[in-house]
Amino acid sequence: ASEAGRRKSERNKKRPVWHKDYQMDSTALLTNGIEDVPESYNSIEGRRDAADWYAAVRDELNSLTENQTWDVVDLPRGAKVITSKWVFKKKVDKNGDLERLKARLVARGFQQTASVDYHDTFAPVAKLSTVRFLLAVGIQRSFEFWHMDVTTAFLFGELDE
């Protein structure tokens, strides 16, 4: 048919109402993973929950101090200071309810050069194959399993540097 021969419908076109369900679902999916957590230590001030975040920071500093994770030393000539950053997270239980606020002081390790600034790394994490092996042996022997969390597990690493 030619352009001149086509007729245009005068009918008012509307989307079906049920399309709004999908629109809501996609909006919920997009916003579901967004957490209202501070981006930095300085952004805590002025928040309604500032006291709770400062308490989480104090807990982290106490853990770092109790576990003797650092020594105060003079900066050797030619050495560079690695900066740190506060990382904040809301911990939720299996139902999605807020369990606690968590603050971690992390070194910005990307500022280091391997074999120049450090020679060794350590992460206290079991390999998946090891966990599967232990579970298989435990099931075979009818062991009872318990799950636990060590809140400061990464503070226990010993390095020879």
Q: Where in the chain are the domains?
A: 27-70+78-155
pTM of the model: 0.55
Q: What is the pLDDT of residue 36?
A: 85
Q: What is the pLDDT of residue 133?
A: 94
Q: What is the pLDDT of residue 112?
A: 75
Q: What is the pLDDT of residue 129?
A: 92
The low-confidence residues of the chain, meaning pLDDT below 50, are none
CA distance 52 to 54: 5
Q: What is the pLDDT of residue 97?
A: 87
Q: What is the pLDDT of residue 60?
A: 94
Q: Which of 159, 64, 74, 45 is nearest to 106 (CA)?
A: 64
Q: What is the pLDDT of residue 155?
A: 58
List helix spans (H) across the chain: 19-32, 50-66, 128-140
User: How many Cβ atoms from other residues are within 10 Å of residue 44's Cβ?
Assistant: 21
Q: What is the pLDDT of residue 53?
A: 96
Which SS3 state, helix, strand or coil, does residue 97 take?
A: coil
